[in-house]
Amino acid sequence: MKMLSGILLCLLPLLLGAQENFAVDHIKALKEGTLIIKLPTHTTKLNAMRELADDPEVYPERRERLKKLIAETEADAQQFNENMTMAFDSNYTFSKVLFTYDYHYDRLKAGEMEGIFLNKNLEKDPSIKIEEGPYYILRFGSSQREGSYGVDAMVVMTDQMKDLSAPFPYYQRLNDFSAFLGSIFPAPEQEKRDAIRLVGKFNKRLLRYGNSKEEAAKG
């Protein structure tokens, strides 16, 4: 047991060094490349609710509740996406950025980039194309795909939909203390303010980490 512990202690610096090199490579690539924001649409949830609402055996009262919930879900998603696109357009500078909807998951993973990007009105615009170079994808959801200890966050993934990991600043939690206070004592356009602030925090973390590694490389 002592021997195993000793071996692990010897390997630990190598493992940490490999993780650091991994993060440095990705921060450089992201800065030179494009971040594709995968906006949530709740398509699977909405389709399930629509199918249930269309079921002739569903009671009229429940059908009306479902229709109301569908409309609210669509409106919430639209508002969230408008806030986030505005926030990234105005408060994100670390790399180039493009927007698409989350139902293009398979096409993104396969590297199919034609006709999937959105203009400022959140409409598909075939004229918008990704520039050559590396690209990463940002999703909204739990900071952990599995397990119960994740937080609601924006999370950076590779082009193969694999979450990056620390020490790369790979996620920014959405429900921070300021957002919590804002939910209790909301100001005018609170959600828009939160989006701008959170994207700004995320941008600063990327800049801070990237700049620190550039300075370290210079010696």
What is the C-alpha separation between 119 and 63, in angstroms, rounded? 34
CB-based burial, 47-81: b 16+ in 10 Å, e otherwise: eebeeebeeeeeeeeeeeebeeebeeeeeebeebb
Please report whether residue 106 resides in a domain. Answer: yes
* Contact of 50 with 68, CB cutoff 8 Å: no
Please report whether residue 62 resides in a domain. Answer: yes
Q: Residue 186: which domain range?
A: 29-218
- Predicted pLDDT of residue 54: 93
Count up the domains in the chain and report the number.
1
Quick one: 125 exposed, middle or buried, by C-beta within 10 A (0-12, 13-18, 19+)? middle
Please report whether residue 18 resides in a domain. Answer: no
- Predicted pLDDT of residue 17: 59
Please report whether residue 207 resides in a domain. Answer: yes
Question: Which residues make Cβ contacts (< 8 Å) with residue 39, sequence separation at least 6?
Answer: 80, 81, 84, 85, 99, 100, 101, 102, 118, 122, 140
Please report whether residue 14 resides in a domain. Answer: no
Q: Is the peptide bond before 40 cis (omega within 30 degrees of 0)?
A: no
- Predicted pLDDT of residue 145: 55
Please report whether residue 113 resides in a domain. Answer: yes
Reported as a single tens digit per residue, the pLDDT across 46-76 is 999 999 999 999 999 999 999 999 999 999 9
- Predicted pLDDT of residue 180: 87
H-run or E-run covering 65? helix 60-91
Please report whether residue 1 resides in a domain. Answer: no
Residues of the chain with pLDDT under 70: 1-17, 145-149, 219
- Predicted pLDDT of residue 1: 53
DSSP 186: P
Please report whether residue 11 resides in a domain. Answer: no
